[in-house]
Amino acid sequence: MDKLEILKIYNHNTIGTCIDGQDVIAIGTGIAFQKHVGNKVNRSEVEKVYVFSDRRKLQFIDLMQNCPYLFFQISESIIKKAQISLNRLFRDWLVITLTDHIYYAVERKKQGIPLPNLMLDEIRSLYPDEYKVGLWSIKLIYKYTDVKLGIGEAAYIAIHLINATEGKDIESTKILVFSRYIIRIIEECLGADIPHDTPQYSRLMIHLKFLGRKILGQVETKEDTLIDYKTFTETSPVLKKCLNKIKEFIENRYQYHLNDDELLYLTIHLNRILKI
């Protein structure tokens, strides 16, 4: 079939359609420009097709509506490079988490907001191949955005690749349990459930997975804090209470003391959750 019917329009570059009896999200530069639901588009205009679970689909749509299409194109280029360089497959949702991360990393850089890297040395040592892809990625990002990210972002891109590798299972059950405990503490402090279909929740879960891997491995890292996390907690009693409870829980259960860098990152993610 050379023509596809537009079932839904998300933006100029993204439509909902049906291919081989399956509802999909199709992306193509300007594919929906001056089009309406019910119109047809050429299949040759489709650059990428995604099939997501309902939860991932909502996250993807939210991101598409709030993030320039350029960042999806950058992420797709990085994923293709990683597939070839690392000779592996990645889960479909990598495009969501990677695009989200890159977009906000670029925005933070533009705003002059420095954030420390937690495990740069360890990532370079443990995942050298993924880190090389990360280094290639920050050059690509600079090429298309004129924003030069630091090598710390190369390491974070490497972590996204590792997290989304098909068949990869690095203490996944223990990390899942750890994440659930932290989410439960946060929800108790808020007195409400955190909406799981929000980008804030997704970012928090990615961070908790990363932090959990670090804690379970009892990996110590040097501090590189440029911002005092107490700047945030002093103006928010709820945020301060929640952070203290998480800190106490991790110390008691895992015998691990969060350093200021880790507390800063948690504070940033908690502050986002509070604003939902």
For the segment 209-268, what is each residue's pLDDT rounded down to a tens digit? 888 888 887 665 555 555 666 767 777 888 889 999 999 999 999 999 998 888 888 888
In a domain, 62, yes or no: no
Residue 194: DSSP 8-state: P
- Of 117, 135, 163, which residue constitutes the final position of a domain? 163
Residues 262/211, Cβ–Cβ less than 8 Å: yes
Question: Looking at the DSSP assignment, which residues form a beta bridge with residue 262?
Answer: none
Same domain, 181 and 259: yes
In this structure, what CATH number is given to the domain that contains residue 28? 2.30.24.10
Structural domains counted in the chain: 3
CA angle 73, 76, 82 (to 5 degrees): 145
Specify whether the CB–CB gap between 204 and 195 falls below 8 A. no
Quote the CA–CA distance of 208 and 47 in Å, as a whole number. Answer: 33
Q: What pLDDT does residue 165 have?
A: 83
Question: Which of 209 and 108 is assigned the larger pLDDT?
Answer: 108
Residue 197: domain span: 172-274
Q: Which residue has the tokens 């023509």?
A: 3
CATH number for position 270: 1.10.1790.10
Q: Report whether 158 contacts 133 (CB < 8 A).
A: yes
User: Is 269 a member of any domain?
Assistant: yes
Q: Are residues 143 and 194 in the same domain?
A: no
Distance between CA atoms of residues 102 and 160, nearest Å: 11
Do 15 and 88 lie in one domain? The reply is no
